[in-house]
């Protein structure tokens, strides 16, 4: 009798496992984590939106989503490589470099397991000059005290690309500091640096604080910038609109790179499909989550991952094909 009971339990558990697998629920873990960025930035807000929509459907798919505040793109990609997180936001240029094992990621093997999920807003190269510095354009940064970003950050990688385009090294600045995105605002307002650089969507809390203490946004444009944009398929010319901040009176000419939600081959197809579905089925609410997301369309979010060579995750691909978004 006891043996019969044990056999029935074993059969019941096996049937339950098959049911869970067939329904597409991720049985191995019920938690997913999204690497975002600084709490004042767009990545953090966007991650909160993704998780809210995922968690609203938890009773159906048994997936719980949490957001991790991180140093940004490079950290998020490296965490995906190590299997420490399931999703992460990153700039398209850095995602491409990680997949190819080049530039910022030249010391690593190419990240063959990197996969894109969907595209978001444009992350613009944003330079704030301190009051009284005489900096009117990116070219005026030479000889000034400039924060180039912490080693290993997306900010640093973007500044390196800009410096290379202009034919500069860090020695072209009177001082090149290596602060994170948040710390540089205080340094700018205290007069400890002459210029701070953000790679972000707008409006951004840190940028606003820099403007509130007398900083000015300056153009990042010119022949060298045009060549950089032309030669790299993931960059595009853009502007910071005057209505992004109350202190702006004109468009700021600059360039930017698409932000992406990334995952890896470690994340099951069913999980990625559920996360993708949660966002796209609430697309109008998601685009209202932050002003930087307001111009997004479902088709643009689906097709925007074509900016990089890394394949689309099969879970996202399945959802997009099922809904005629490609």
pLDDT digit string, tens, across residues 187-225: 999 999 999 999 999 999 999 999 999 999 999 999 999
Structure tokens at 213: 């203490």
Mean pLDDT calculated for residue range 284-311 = 94
Query: Does 124-257 match 28-121+258-322 at the fold level?
Result: yes
Tell me the two tokens of residue 44.
Answer: 């953090």
What are the CA-CA distances from residue 272 to residues 60, 65, 76, 265 (Å)?
Answer: 15, 12, 17, 10
CA torsion angle for 251, 190, 169, 231 (degrees, to 10)?
Answer: -20
Question: If phi over 0 gives left and psi between -120 and 50 gives alpha, with beta otherwise, what is residue 83?
Answer: left
- DSSP per residue, 212-275: HTT-EEEB--SHHHHHHHHH-TTEEEEEE-GGGSTT--SPEEEEEEEEEEEEETTS-HHHHHHH
Across the range 28-32, mean pLDDT stands at 73
CA distance 244 to 232: 27
- CATH code for the structural domain at 28-121+258-322: 3.40.190.10
Asked whether 141 and 173 are in contact (CB, 8 A), the reply is: yes
Partners of 321 in beta bridges:
none
Asked whether residue 19 carries a pLDDT value surpassing 70, the answer given is no
Q: Residue 58 corresponds to which tokens in the numbers above? A: 């938890």
Contact 156, 178 (CB under 8 A): yes
Cα gap 285→288, rounded to integer Å: 5
Residue 177 has pLDDT above 80, yes or no: yes
**For 199, phi and psi rounded to 5 degrees?**
-120, 100
Average pLDDT, the chain: 90
Q: Do the Cβ atoms of 72 and 247 come closer than 8 Å?
A: no
Residue 100 in tokens: 């190819």
Q: Which segment of 5-9, 206-210, 276-280 scores lowest on mean pLDDT?
A: 5-9
Where along the chain do its domains lie?
28-121+258-322, 124-257
Q: Regarding predicted confidence, which is higher, 228 or 14?
A: 228
Per-residue pLDDT, 181? 84
Asked if 258 contacts 90 with a C-beta cutoff of 8 angstroms, the reply is no
Q: What is the pLDDT of residue 109?
A: 92
Is it the case that residue 276 has pLDDT exceeding 50?
yes
| pLDDT of 236 strictly over 80 | yes
> What CATH number should be reported for the domain whose range is 124-257?
3.40.190.10
pLDDT of residue 38: 85
| 25 and 270 Cβ atoms separated by less than 8 Å | yes
Span 278-302, average pLDDT: 95
Lowest mean pLDDT among 21-25, 267-271, 273-277: 21-25
Q: Where are the beta strands (DSSP E) in the chain?
A: 31-35, 64-68, 87-91, 114-129, 145-147, 175-177, 195-200, 216-218, 235-240, 252-264
The answer to whether residue 312 scores a pLDDT higher than 80 is yes
Which residues have CB under 8 Å from 243's CB, separation 6+?
Answer: none
At 21, the pLDDT band (50, 70, 90 cuts) reads very low
> What pLDDT was estimated at residue 180?
87
- pLDDT at residue 23 greater than cutoff 60: no
Distance of CA 89 to the CA centre of its chain: 3
Both tokens assigned to 200: 């972000």
Q: Tens digits of per-residue pLDDT, 81-99?
A: 999 999 999 999 999 999 9
Whether the predicted pLDDT of 79 surpasses 70: yes
Give percent of the chain with pLDDT exceeding 70. Answer: 91
Contacts of 197 (CB under 8 A, 6+ apart): 125, 126, 127, 128, 146, 147, 148, 149, 155, 158, 159, 184
When comparing pLDDT for 232 and 228, which is higher?
228
DSSP 166: H
User: Residue written as tokens 């946004």?
Assistant: 217
């Amino acid at each position: 009798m006891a043996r019969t009971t044990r056999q029935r339990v074993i059969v019941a558990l096996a049937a339950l496992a098959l049911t869970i697998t067939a329904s597409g629920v991720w049985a191995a873990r019920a938690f997913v984590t999204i690497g975002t960025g600084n709490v004042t930035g767009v990545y953090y807000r966007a991650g909160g939106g993704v998780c809210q929509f995922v968690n609203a459907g938890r009773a159906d798919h048994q997936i719980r989503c949490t957001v991790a505040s991180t140093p940004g793109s490079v950290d998020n990609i490296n965490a995906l490589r190590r299997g420490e997180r399931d999703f992460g936001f990153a700039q398209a240029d850095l995602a491409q470099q990680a997949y190819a094992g080049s530039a910022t990621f030249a010391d690593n093997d190419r990240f063959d397991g990197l996969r894109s999920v969907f595209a978001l807003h444009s992350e613009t190269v944003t330079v704030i000059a301190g009051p009284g510095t005489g900096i009117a354009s990116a070219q005026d940064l030479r000889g000034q005290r400039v924060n180039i970003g912490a080693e290993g950050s997306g900010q640093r990688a973007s500044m390196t690309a800009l410096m290379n385009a202009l034919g500069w090294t860090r020695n072209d600045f009177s001082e090149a500091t290596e602060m994170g995105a948040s710390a540089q605002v205080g340094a700018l307002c205290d007069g400890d640096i002459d210029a701070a650089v953000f790679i972000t969507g707008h409006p951004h809390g840190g940028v606003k604080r820099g403007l509130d203490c007398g900083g000015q946004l300056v153009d990042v444009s010119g022949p060298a910038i045009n060549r950089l944009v032309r030669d790299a398929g993931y960059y595009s010319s853009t502007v910071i609109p005057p209505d992004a901040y109350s202190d702006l009176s004109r468009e700021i000419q600059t360039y930017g790179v698409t932000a992406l939600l990334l995952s890896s081959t470690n994340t099951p197809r069913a999980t990625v499909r559920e996360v993708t579905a949660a966002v796209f089925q609430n697309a109008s609410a998601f685009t209202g989550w932050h002003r930087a997301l307001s111009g997004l369309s479902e088709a643009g979010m689906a097709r925007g991952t074509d900016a990089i060579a890394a394949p689309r995750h099969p879970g996202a691909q399945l959802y997009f094909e099922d809904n005629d978004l490609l």
